[in-house]
Structure 1
């Protein structure tokens, strides 16, 4: 009897040792497939802290068509990586989708229609400026244009570097065709049509990565902004629901975009940029089905790469009367919609208590 017990104990011990040995063998492999990043921005609350991706999204550049990517926000004081979709989240802060429906840095939904074939400043700060070109149409009997974002123009840095991206016009949408056109300082950018292909500027100050084979990219400007872009058409279903009356020769290919800002100054301007100011009072009324805000006269620019609107501040440096202490970084995070403003924050967004 005692011999049997000893045999059983030995068997259990052997199994335990084998399981433990297998676990040790697996651990290095698991660690090797989980990526990490160290934040080197000196103004970051996570300066020199190593952040390791969670198992749910172990990579910054996932392969095999994975929908989740690991994201490190060096300006988030929590200093922990998060998982996010590889395409714009049209219900997240910093987004601009549809007939432009924005969600501001304050989490409030608002619509800014602008005018078709015109350009407006979305963000204007001392070292970063982003314009959008609006396309659209005005059916008979309507008092305003239906509009969509067709192009983005980015100015950045002390040397006024520029980057543009356009959704190319097409009569019929074909998801097998890439409808993105890119340029850097006036020169075309060639980005191979395969998932995860990357282009970098010679100065390494801007990086463009495809997040799918065609029509989706992530644009990264070091320590300034990340922009998720997805090109889509106005679908027949959208046309039917909203009565856009889309013509047969143009499906109005346009962009869904979402911005993640690394650090904006307290005096940032622009249709979207102003919503990140701590002193901004959003005129959009909570609970209204389609809260439209104005500002066309304040944010209209002469072209896609001009920073000449009435409220533009790009390249202006420190304003008169501003002390150095006042020009501090505004820390931003990319959470979902803030429901504190009321029961509803716009079409498709319902907040429940």
Structure 2
């Protein structure tokens, strides 16, 4: 009799554990956000993707290090996690002085020229320009440069948005060094992780990815841009021999782009690397492969769309008639473990 009671108690406890586990899984699934892909030419058309339990939200709350990402052109059709700040070793990134990683995965440097503007991406309905700051120590023939600001022009009515790192003599980690403007008017974005701003009409969304100095800029169905403000440190100055003055820490941007659509004709310092016919001029095996294009991509101001190679047309061309690039942009993030991408393993 005692043995039977023990068996019954064991079965009861096992049943309770199973029910609890199933309930927990259901609750976790219910808490995860979902997104359906509506791009007709994508392999995931009309398929719903659910965020993993490790990153259940596209806009996670305070303190989260990972956000959910859906790539409708990834043939696996599965949502993944990514770091909430720019991954300077990932595709579409522009960091340091400035070091780019193109859509083809090749690293290259584009120095441009200090106090001038260049088109990073130019497509029929979307353009991103960058203002470069820098200095030229005595005896050097080329400027050291960094990306100080971004200017976005987008949509059929050529709406504008700018994001810049404000000048600072000394770097203070407790000061917000970001300045944001939409349609020429400065935006007041509350400090604090997950603070969000969006204008009426929802043309653009800006959300902080940390209390200060880091944001995610989203242009619905066009692009996502992660941006972070950093200084040129004394250590950087000593290693690279920049000759940084005492009254300017050259606060600048680290950025990473994720494009949701691009045409076959996309241009720009970074944009051209996503074209199927692009042959990267960066020389393999060179420590700092520098590519040119200053004359092709120079614009007269941060929000000017004209340059020799620019293709922006105020959205006047029908996007439905434009042949699109099929983008498979797995955002590999090697900060989260050995396997951080779909079918890709990170090695140290």
Kindly state the Cα deviation for residue 17 of structure 1 after the two structures are TM-superposed: 2.0
Which secondary structure state, in structure 2, belongs to the residue aligned with residue 256 of structure 1? strand
- Pick from 249, 255, 258 the counterpart of residue 257 of structure 1: 255
1:234-262 CA deviation, whole Å, 9 max, x = no partner? 01110000000100111000000000001
Which secondary structure state, in structure 2, belongs to the residue aligned with residue 129 of structure 1? strand
Q: Which residue of the partner structure matches residue 335 of structure 1? A: 330
Kindly state the Cα deviation for residue 43 of structure 1 after the two structures are TM-superposed: 4.2
Q: Which residue of the partner structure matches residue 80 of structure 1? A: 78
Kindly state the Cα deviation for residue 36 of structure 1 after the two structures are TM-superposed: 1.6
Q: Which structure is larger by alpha-carbon Rg, 1 or 2? A: 1
- Pick from 79, 90, 94 the counterpart of residue 92 of structure 1: 90
1:293-337 CA deviation, whole Å, 9 max, x = no partner? 000010000100111110000017799xxx999831112233368
Per the normalisation by structure 2, the TM-score is: 0.91
Q: Which residue of the partner structure matches residue 275 of structure 1? A: 273
- The reply on whether 1:113 has 2:108 as its aligned counterpart is no
Equivalents in 1 of 2:18, 2:108: separation in Å? Answer: 56
Per the normalisation by structure 1, the TM-score is: 0.90
Is the CA contact 1:94–1:104 (under 8 Å) kept in the aligned structure 2? yes
Distance 1:316 1:24, change over 3 A: closer
Is the CA contact 1:268–1:277 (under 8 Å) kept in the aligned structure 2? yes
Which secondary structure state, in structure 1, belongs to the residue aligned with residue 226 of structure 2? strand
Q: Which residue of the partner structure matches residue 343 of structure 1? A: none
Q: Which residue of the partner structure matches residue 162 of structure 1? A: 160
1:165-213 CA deviation, whole Å, 9 max, x = no partner? 1110010001111111111111111100010000012120110000001
- The reply on whether 1:153 has 2:151 as its aligned counterpart is yes
Distance 1:30 1:316, change over 3 A: closer
Equivalents in 2 of 1:173, 1:68: separation in Å? Answer: 26
Which secondary structure state, in structure 2, belongs to the residue aligned with residue 62 of structure 1? coil
Equivalents in 1 of 2:321, 2:186: separation in Å? Answer: 39
Q: Is 220-229 or 51-60 further displaced after alignment?
A: 51-60
Q: Which residue of the partner structure matches residue 294 of structure 2? A: 296
Q: Which residue of the partner structure matches residue 184 of structure 1? A: 182
Q: Which residue of the partner structure matches residue 126 of structure 2? A: 128
Which secondary structure state, in structure 1, belongs to the residue aligned with residue 8 of structure 2? helix
1:258-282 CA deviation, whole Å, 9 max, x = no partner? 0000111111000000000000000
Q: Which residue of the partner structure matches residue 65 of structure 1? A: 63
Q: Which residue of the partner structure matches residue 338 of structure 2? A: none
Q: Which residue of the partner structure matches residue 31 of structure 2? A: 33
Equivalents in 1 of 2:41, 2:205: separation in Å? Answer: 21
Q: Which residue of the partner structure matches residue 140 of structure 1? A: 138
Is the CA contact 1:75–1:263 (under 8 Å) kept in the aligned structure 2? no
Aligned length: 334
1:215-245 CA deviation, whole Å, 9 max, x = no partner? 0000000110000000000011100000001
Equivalents in 2 of 1:260, 1:317: separation in Å? Answer: 20
- The reply on whether 1:284 has 2:282 as its aligned counterpart is yes
Is the CA contact 2:156–2:316 (under 8 Å) kept in the aligned structure 1? no
Kindly state the Cα deviation for residue 9 of structure 1 after the two structures are TM-superposed: 2.3
Q: Is 179-188 or 13-22 further displaced after alignment?
A: 13-22
Is the CA contact 1:194–1:214 (under 8 Å) kept in the aligned structure 2? yes
- The reply on whether 1:53 has 2:51 as its aligned counterpart is yes
Q: Is 275-284 or 33-42 further displaced after alignment?
A: 33-42
Kindly state the Cα deviation for residue 75 of structure 1 after the two structures are TM-superposed: 2.9
Unpaired runs of at least 5, structure 1: 338-350
Q: Which residue of the partner structure matches residue 347 of structure 1? A: none
